[in-house]
A and B are shown apart, each in its own frame.
Chain A
Amino acid sequence: MALSAEDVARLAALARLDLTNAECAELAPELDVILTSVAAVGEVAGPDVPLMTHALPLVNVMRDDEVRPSLPREVVLAGAPDVEEGRFRVPQILSED
């Protein structure tokens, strides 16, 4: 099933990307080519090839429950768009209603 311009618009909205209708229409067939190419891998891999979600066949990589130093607060807040009393400050999230 081909990817439609509406699909792209919905994905863009979810990813907070500001795309015009024209861009959605243009991107749909381009993304479709990529999806089709990736899907081809599924055809090559037979039932004897196990599902792979990681590049390495590792499990149980864990650390002991030990506290390590955190970043100094001024470093943490250096990347904040705005700061108030040691906290990140962000604009209004929801409007009045």
Chain B
Amino acid sequence: MSQRITVVEKILGANERLAETNRLALDQAGVFGLNLMASPGAGKTSLIEHTIRRLADRYQIAVVDGDVATSIDADRAAAAGAQAVQINTGGECHLDAVMLQEALAQLDLPSIDLLIVENVGNLICPANFQLGTHKSVLIASVPEGDDKPYKYPGMYQGVDALVINKIDLQPYIDFDMDYFRRGVEALNPGLVTFPLSCRTGQGLEDWLAWVGEWVERGR
């Protein structure tokens, strides 16, 4: 005999429950957690390096680096002065709450003020998987083109802040900032944005002030 059973469950519910556990672990240790997402080459690792170099005298910083295979990014974070844990996702396109939980176990959380998670370079999948970090930040960059909010709405909707990197290249590239911002505003009204250049240092101060403010609140 056939019977229909109603299921009221989100498919990624298990990941979300685990993300809550991670959040609790961070809260108890007084760690502010940032999840940085971007397409490959947008400048995630460069922004992390600059953030570590500029904030390392004030805060203990740890970086969890999600990468498909290598440890190049984690090595760069360690060289800049942070505790670094590498997660090789083995081909997976995103980090999930399980992977972060395993990484957190390798860190001395109570000694850390700021945890930066560098997600796998990808504008689709990471948006679906909560990690338990406090803020999600998307790093866009001028050479990627001004149509990205329209093409990847899921990613632009789910973030708490947007960095627009490589603005020093704007004179050389057809990037309509108004068109880009209209798309962002429609998807995520009032989203805080940080136009900056990791290469020239322009705009970095505002970004560092924002991060610093959240770290202070989390302590």
Q: Do A and B bind each other?
A: no
Instruction: State the A residues within 8 Å of B (CB).
Output: none
Instruction: State the B residues within 8 Å of A (CB).
Output: none
